[in-house]
Structure 1
Amino acid sequence: MSKSPVPTPHNNAKVGDIAETVLLPGDPLRAKFIAETFLEDVIQYNTVRGMFGYTGTYKGKRISVQGSGMGIPSIGIYSYELIHFYGVKNLIRVGSAGAINENLKIHDVVIGMGACTNSNYADQYNLPGTFAPVASYELLQKAVNVANEQGTKVTVGNILSSDVFYNDQGLEPLRQWQKMGVLCVEMEAAALYMNASRAGVNALTILTISDCPLTGEETTSHERQVAFTKMMEIALELA
């Protein structure tokens, strides 16, 4: 673990306040919902910038949940600090996504085996080629097994982490990714996978379909905060 001082500019926590397994919802209100709904003996360790963080126990296992914000730069900061300053070993993004695959419906659960991206985040590593951000197989396998035990259907495959929400080219880029078998689009997983790979720790992304950009179907913001419990119940079992 890094000897850099804590708390950090983005986190009130002291060393030891955060568990080795952390759930990372983008929305801090989803972090609050998870902590209040599923965890016992909860302590809030972070309020900086309204990006709430909590530690508690789930079925006797210590686990934390930390809001990570929107986009690759934001999750890049939070996941890096969790890994290098707080010793986190397992990082599980629980987020929302827009379906690209025509077989996915609202509220379906997707597990990101790999994360394509249009971001330049990997440029910092000065690699002699194109890096493929992938999940940790250990967490992926366990998540699929947990989902099967819980009776939750999950779709596993490639997802897209996009830097662009309002694309000047409209929906055409999503149709191009659809041709390559990409399941859905979100904005964070690729950076999480890269940070985890570089540090030699585990990362996984579990998503709930909140909208279908190609058809216009969507859920409400309140549903995205509190109704996506199936993916949360899978993620919590990975501690």
Structure 2
Amino acid sequence: MTTPHNSAIKGNIAETVLLPGDPLRAKFIAENFLQDVEQFNAVRNMFGYTGTYNGKKVSVMGTGMGCPSIGIYSYELIHMYNVKNLIRIGSCGAYSEKLKLYDIILAIGASTDSNFADQYDLPGIFSATASWELLSKAKKAADDNNIPTVVGNIVTSDIFYHDNPEDWKRWAKMGIMAAEMESYALYCNASRAGVNALTILTVSDSIVDKSETTPEEREKGFKNMMKIALELA
């Protein structure tokens, strides 16, 4: 079965998929970390690849930016391609002064300003959380490889250029560590389907001190995050 967004057929995609937002990061991971790689998707230039890592089958596919985009791709991976473990590997903007460039966050939960969960018609506000199975394995893999990580809550925002430049401070007061744009939708789709999801983020910029990495560094320089994710395959 193919979809309007994915030309793969069943069997082309592994049960564990790494999900960078940038499709060029997916290409970089496939070319530099996987063996016996085959490309399964190029629709809309959202590249997807399957190969092996330490003898285990694993896939990697870009998702684009924002809840609508990752909502589409993760839903199709789960329901059309039987993916069981979805691991977002992305960049984030730090809201905490304790975080520096290249620090790695394991996102135990995702708050949001998105209305993605409205579709479920719940009688309250849904708390989108990671799979404990993947989170605990990721923390162990990081520790075993002497890669420092922090575990905490992030915010998934629909807004990149906010009209109120001080708005982030209200999230920071609630202990939110960093902002990105996809995890809430990923966690919702995974929770609804009863599969595993985890977001692993590398700090690419700091809203606190205005430091930032380059686009090339974001595409190719987050190798520790990629290593942790691949160990979960």
Partner of 1:19: 14
Quick check: 207-216 or 147-156, which moved more? 207-216
Equivalent position to 1:68, from 51, 63, 67: 63
Q: Partners of 2:137 and 2:60 in 1: how far apart?
A: 19
Equivalent position to 1:36, from 14, 31, 37: 31
**One-letter amino acid of the counterpart of residue 18, structure 1:** I
Deviations 1:121-178 (A, max 9, x none): 00000000000000000000000000000000000000010000000111x2210000
Partner of 2:204: 210
Find the residue that maps to 1:207 and give its secondary structure: strand
Deviations 1:182-224 (A, max 9, x none): 1100000000000000000000000000000222110000000
1:67 CA drift (Å): 0.2
Contact 2:88 2:198 in 1 (8 A): yes
Partner of 1:233: 227
**One-letter amino acid of the counterpart of residue 97, structure 2:** E
1:185 and 2:154 matched:
no
Find the residue that maps to 1:232 and give its secondary structure: helix
**One-letter amino acid of the counterpart of residue 194, structure 1:** C
**One-letter amino acid of the counterpart of residue 84, structure 1:** H
Q: Partners of 1:30 and 1:174 in 2: how far apart?
A: 27
Q: Partners of 1:139 and 1:216 in 2: how far apart?
A: 32
Q: TM-score, normalised by structure 2?
A: 0.99
Q: Partners of 1:78 and 1:229 in 2: how far apart?
A: 24
Deviations 1:22-75 (A, max 9, x none): 000000000000000100000000000000000000000000000000000000
Contact 2:108 2:135 in 1 (8 A): yes
Q: How does 1:36-185 map to 2 (within 5 A)?
A: 36-170=31-165, 172-185=166-179
Q: TM-score, normalised by structure 1?
A: 0.97
Contact 2:96 2:208 in 1 (8 A): no
Q: Partners of 1:203 and 1:218 in 2: how far apart?
A: 27
Q: Partners of 1:160 and 1:230 in 2: how far apart?
A: 22
4+ residue segments displaced more than 2 Å: none
**One-letter amino acid of the counterpart of residue 79, structure 2:** H
Identity fraction in percent? 63
**One-letter amino acid of the counterpart of residue 54, structure 1:** Y
Q: Partners of 1:119 and 1:173 in 2: how far apart?
A: 15
Q: Partners of 2:72 and 2:209 in 1: how far apart?
A: 33
Gaps of 5+ in 2: none
Aligned length: 233
Contact 2:156 2:181 in 1 (8 A): yes
**One-letter amino acid of the counterpart of residue 22, structure 1:** V
Gaps of 5+ in 1: 1-5
